Structure 1
Amino acid sequence: MLRSLSEWFWQESLWFPKGLGWADLQDQDGRVYAKTADLWVALPIAFMFMIVRQLFERTVATPLASLMGIKETVRRKAPPNRTLDHHYCTVDRSPVKSSLEELCQQTGWTDRQVQRWFRRRRNQDRPSLLKKFREASWRCVFYLLAFIAGVAALIDKPWFYDVKQMWDGFPVLTLLPSQYWYYMLELGFYSSLLFSVASDVKRKDFNEQIVHHVATIMLISFSWCVNYIRAGTLIMLIHDSSDYLLESAKMFNYAGWRNTCNYIFIVFAGVFIVTRIIILPFWIIYWTVVFPLTMYEPFFGYYFFNGLLVILQCLHVFWAVLIIRCALRFLTENEKVDDDRSDKDETDESGEDEEEDDRKTKICNGPTQNGHAHNNHTNHTKTD
């Protein structure tokens, strides 16, 4: 059964235009072509990236964060309580008034004590600024290096200037060493992001990010198998051209460098709109949808490849709307830029406990002047 399924999956009519097949991609006369088996190389590369990331975050990102004024946040942990923990994990992280009253009866705690417990419990699950900074710095470095590598790999290629030439001789297109490593490193990196998604910062567009990673991995893998490599390298370069700007803006945002963050974000917004809303659909997708039909009849691979591109383009439009909204707020109202696309986390409440404790300390000690307490005005209150 598995053999029959494999034969059906790899049949040439699904992957190639009529009259072409796997035999056309066999190495001969010193010409080397992409092999499906090469994709397995991405797995060890993905695990290598995960290891390198851990080393980078500890030895580079953490000291850099310290230089930029970011320190590890020490948060108070919520005391163990099975009743509240069960409600937190299975019902609601922010209980409504009716639930609070019921929880107070079950635990014997006051309303304020229950609210404080949930506040501290939520803070335990929120990523710290240091964690978010380290993640952003790692992605920033990779996207920047990948963009530089992509430019170096494509700058001397004729299809970089004339997109039509990426189909010349298809599918018998010789694989270059630069294309091989560019593909494997990109595929390995996106695979590592998918593997680590559970431990990374979970943002508001978590589902969209999963769809993006899966579609990107499928797009890279499929384009490799059917030798759409020239189109694939152009698409990867377009994506890398703006991502490092977004991650660098996040880094400065976490460090509190407001002006630097805002201006980098505006540059990022411009590059994102030009590359993914203009160049990608009207320069790349156009030539992958329209021009191939002048060379061969449509086949499953044609629809599958362009379908994945359409999915990515829909995500780009979704993100572009959020990005433009952020940029307009800054340009028209001079407000602080918040990344509505993926980084607008719930407000950290860790400081509220400290403020509450400070308030109670002042009440207990009485108002002070010049460092001396006025004992005749001292008030004592019962603490939670």
Structure 2
Amino acid sequence: MGKIIRIVSASLLATTTGTVGFNWSKWITPLVEPEYVLSDSVQRVQLTPGEDGLRERVVSWVSGADRSGDSLRLFCGDSLLFRSGPFHKEIRTHGGVTHVQSVTIPSLVAGRYPYTITSGDGVEAYRDTLVIPSDSLQTFVLIGDVQDTWGDDTRPLMDSLYRAHPGAAAWIQVGDLIERPHDQYWRRYYDAFASVAPRIPLITVIGDHENEAGLMYDVDDRWEYVLDYPDNGPEERVGHAYYIDYPDMRVVCYDSNSLFWSIGTQRPWLERVLRERKDQPFLVVCAHHPVYSGTKNRFNPLNNSLLGPLFRRCGVDLVLAGHDHIFAHDRDADGGGPHYIGLSTAHKTYSVQEPERHIASESGARYYGIMTVTQKVLRVAVYREGGTLLDSLSVSRKGRR
């Protein structure tokens, strides 16, 4: 079976390569990262979830110098609950040096937890608060491609979403978070997400813009170490593909950008983690490339031919994707299978191809979704920037399978 999959992958790669026509300037030749220098201070604080998405947190921060002597302290009220020094990684790129520090916080009960990052000499360098929501209802903010460049102004939208949902369990983002793997664009991300990143964990996937351009995509080390996800993924994709469990839902993220080279390991892993699902009544899958593309001249053959049928067989409820820079809601031709939602939260937009074949679709604006999950029902509402409701869906636990 593995050999057959590799043969199919190679054939589809050849077809896709011919379609792309070797646009070397865009896809093959990397753009050189401009030089940058980070200050030595604590900056760009980011939360990600652990495998137990509701209760576990990883806190990372970056700097221009080694801050492995820092200490993260977590409080419950006025009492010190947890203290730890960080894991440290020095990342050298063409443009400069980034030092990443991260601390994994063990399981917490519902509540608000102030935390500080203190330097080795005891001086407080950063203070904020994280929230652990209750296990009876979780809210998730869903966003698409962002890809901010210097002319964009994404922060007001992100600030408004944070104000509306300060107790969200997580934000889920579907790749192309940044324009390119350069410090200038990472800076744009942290500027736009300043109210969210240090308080609510981010679940994201690898998009094509998180990679250096080239025939064999190379994921930016800053993505890997700043966004520190559970090591429960398939061979060679550990940290790039992973799953996170909530009381009533499993979220499975895979790397659709590398499928041509990793379908032989990612597909068996997907089948296993979707089928084992423990006691979660709902299954949500996230990737950058959609199963059903909604824009002209785009088709994702491995997603569509090998993974779409698998998602249906495994009873996946919702598949979230981006890449097309539109909003689109699809299902299989017979009206069954998962709900497929494609989102874009970028200023760059494309046109919807054949709008009549989608359950709902729109282009020309920025879009986001709000998902709520309980033991009995998963609901998603999709909005245009400004709060106009465009679409909604509801999946009930009773009678699903």
Structure (1 or 2) with the larger CA radius of gyration = 1
Q: Could you state the TM-score of these two structures normalised by the residue count of structure 2?
A: 0.23
Structure holding more helix per residue: 1
Relative contact order, higher structure (CA 8 A, sep 6+): 1
Structure holding more strand per residue: 2
Q: Could you state the TM-score of these two structures normalised by the residue count of structure 1?
A: 0.24
